Amino acid sequence: MAQADMLWRGLRGVALTLVVVFFLFPIFWIVLMSFETNETVLQVPPTLTPHLTLQNYVALLSGKLNTATGIINITFLHNLWNSVLLSTCSVLVALILGVPAAYAFARFRFRGGEDIAFTLLSFRFAPPLLVLLPLTLYFQDIGLSNTYVGLIWIYQLICLPLILWIVRGYFEDASPDIEYAYRVDGHSWWKAFTKIAIPLAGPGIAAAALLSFIFAWNNFVFALVLASADKQPVTVGALAFVTASGIQYGIIAAAIVLSILPTLALALYAQRWLVEGLSLGAVKG
């Protein structure tokens, strides 16, 4: 029995090691690559003691890359800025639109309420191109094509359902009795909403905001279809990078690292709420 137990533990250890290697090695390899010179990157077999350098990051952040054929301008920093701007504004808009609606759905049973809530949820599962392709034509007509406003609006497809359904769960979890008591004291519903309900749902709102930031940041197809180069976030910018000639692999790797660093950091910070966010509030971690 003890021997079987040992064997079982050993197998479990091996399996877990394989799992960890498979899922983490790609990130490790890209991070390593981002600190290597082009010569080291191209070396086969890969060297175990690479000479590490910051030159890739310097080139990315300064926007200038010196090559044998001249200086190449890199706009990656601008892509990074676009990602920050688009994700932050989208989340803020989604919070302003979504938190009051979530409160309404949690506290009131009203005609059409569930229909709105489920229509918003269904956006999460409809093919995004179905909405995006007509929008490219509409946006040209109403002057929203290639604007931040147009993009932020369409980013609500991801942010709003997430905020609405997670925050709704938190409002439902908080008993309305405190709010009623507060109202009976003669305070307005607005005060009850802002002073009692929102603080009670605070952790949920924060979690939903962090998660929708991550999903907005990671989105690719919206900007691919609706934005031209000067409005593109990192996900689309990095792809253009790979196909551009003369960009060294180490620099691509550094761009990848800078693109995924913010979401990984936020995810580690918000990991307590990830389960709930990923399942749109269906499962608690």
User: At closest approach, how far in Å is the CB of 122 from other proteins?
Assistant: 6
Instruction: Compute the Cα dihedral for 123, 128, 133, 138 and give only its sign.
Output: positive
Q: What region, left, alpha or beta, does residue 122 occupy, with left being phi > 0 and alpha being psi -120 to 50 degrees? A: alpha
Cβ-Cβ contacts under 8 Å for 104 (sequence gap 6 or more): 110, 113
- From 51-59, 62-70, 74-82, 250-258, span contacting other proteins (CB under 8 A): 250-258
Collapsed DSSP state (helix, strand, coil) of residue 61:
helix
* Cβ neighbours of 163 (radius 10 Å): 30
- Distance CA(77)–CA(173), nearest Å, equals 42
Count of residues engaged in binding other proteins, rule: CB under 8 A:
101
Residue 52: DSSP 8-state: B
Cβ closer to other proteins: 71 or 81? 81
- Distance CA(259)–CA(177), nearest Å, equals 45
Out of 91, 95, 101, 247, name the contact with other proteins by CB under 8 A: 101
Out of 162, 207, 227, 238, name the contact with other proteins by CB under 8 A: 238
Out of 85, 129, 198, 200, name the contact with other proteins by CB under 8 A: 129
List binders of other proteins among 48-77 (CB under 8 A): none
Contact flag: residue 100 with other proteins (CB under 8 A): yes
Cβ closer to other proteins: 71 or 178? 178
List binders of other proteins among 20-39 (CB under 8 A): 20, 22-24, 26-27, 29-30, 33
Contact flag: residue 15 with other proteins (CB under 8 A): yes
Cβ closer to other proteins: 72 or 132? 132
Contact flag: residue 113 with other proteins (CB under 8 A): yes
Note whether 52 and 250 are within 8 A (CB). no
List binders of other proteins among 132-161 (CB under 8 A): 132-135, 137-138, 153-154, 156-157, 160
- From 55-63, 68-76, 105-113, 194-202, span contacting other proteins (CB under 8 A): 105-113
User: At closest approach, how far in Å is the CB of 118 from other proteins?
Assistant: 7
Q: Could you give the string, one character per residue 176-195, with x where binding to other proteins holds by CB under 8 A and - elsewhere?
A: -------------x------
Note whether 266 and 207 are within 8 A (CB). no
- The answer, yes or no, to whether the previous bond of 45 is cis (omega within 30 of 0) is yes
Out of 77, 97, 198, 200, name the contact with other proteins by CB under 8 A: 97
Contact flag: residue 247 with other proteins (CB under 8 A): no
Contact flag: residue 275 with other proteins (CB under 8 A): yes
Residue 175, CB-side half-sphere exposure with 13 Å CA sphere: 4
- Distance CA(121)–CA(169), nearest Å, equals 14
Cβ closer to other proteins: 23 or 69? 23
Contact flag: residue 47 with other proteins (CB under 8 A): no
Of 58, 13, 25, residue with least CA distance to 254? 58
E strand or H helix at 73: strand 70-73
E strand or H helix at 66: strand 64-67
